[in-house]
C-alpha cells in the first residue's frame, strides 16, 4: 500500500529551528509537497520538491532525497504563529496526492 510517515507531534522553542521528517512509500513519485494547517483553517501550500536537494522559501526550507524516499521541512527562527499542523504529501503515478497524517508543531515561548 501507499503510506507516508511523519511524527505526530514536535515541540520547539520560539526563535529556534525545527525539522519535520517525512518518509514515503508510494506507487510512482511526482514530487513531495508540504502544507500548513492552522487549527480550524484550511491547508495552505508551503513548498514542493521534485528533485533531490534543498529548496528555500524565506524561513522555510524543504529537502528531498529520492533514493532514501525521505524528505524534511525545516523551519527557522520559529514564531508563535508557526504553531500549526504540517502535512507532507506525495503525488503518485495517478497524479493523486497521498497525504501523511500530519505533524502538530507546538511552539513554547
Partner 1 sequence: KAGVTQTPRYLIKTRGQQVTLSCSPISGHRSVSWYQQTPGQGLQFLFEYFSETQRNKGNFPGRFSGRQFSNSRSEMNVSTLELGDSALYLCASSLDGRSHEQYFGPGTRLTVT
Residue ranges in contact with partner 1 by CB under 8 A: 4, 8, 30-31, 33, 41-45, 48, 87, 89, 91, 94-102
d(C-alpha 34, C-alpha 56), whole Å: 12
CB 64 to partner 1: min, Å: 12
Nearer to partner 1, 102 or 107 (CB): 102
Strands (E), 51-101: 53-57, 60-65, 70-75, 84-91, 97-99
Residue with smaller CB distance to partner 1, 31 or 74 = 31
Nearest residue (CB) to partner 1, 1 versus 109? 1
How far apart CA 46 and CA 77 sit, in angstroms, is: 16
CB of 109 to partner 1, least distance (A): 26
Identify which of residues 79 and 93 has a Cβ nearer to partner 1 in the complex. 93
Is 91 in contact with 30 (CB distance < 8 Å)?
A: yes
Least separation in angstroms between residue 21's CB and partner 1 is 15
Long-range contacts of 59-67 (CB under 8 A, 24+ apart): 60/34, 62/32, 62/34, 64/32, 66/29
Find the shortest distance in angstroms from Cβ 42 to partner 1.
Answer: 4
Amino acid at each position: 500500500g501507499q503510506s507516508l510517515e511523519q511524527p505526530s507531534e514536535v515541540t520547539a522553542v520560539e526563535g529556534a529551528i525545527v525539522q519535520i521528517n517525512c518518509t514515503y512509500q508510494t506507487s510512482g513519485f511526482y514530487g513531495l509537497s508540504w502544507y500548513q494547517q492552522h487549527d480550524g483553517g484550511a491547508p495552505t501550500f508551503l513548498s514542493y520538491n521534485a528533485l533531490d536537494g534543498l529548496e528555500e522559501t524565506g524561513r522555510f526550507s524543504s529537502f528531498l532525497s529520492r533514493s532514501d524516499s525521505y524528505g524534511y521541512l525545516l523551519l527557522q527562527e520559529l514564531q508563535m504563529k508557526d504553531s500549526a499542523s504540517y502535512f507532507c504529501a506525495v503525488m503518485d503515478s495517478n497524479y493523486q496526492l497521498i497525504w501523511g497524517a500530519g505533524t502538530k508543531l507546538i511552539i513554547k515561548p
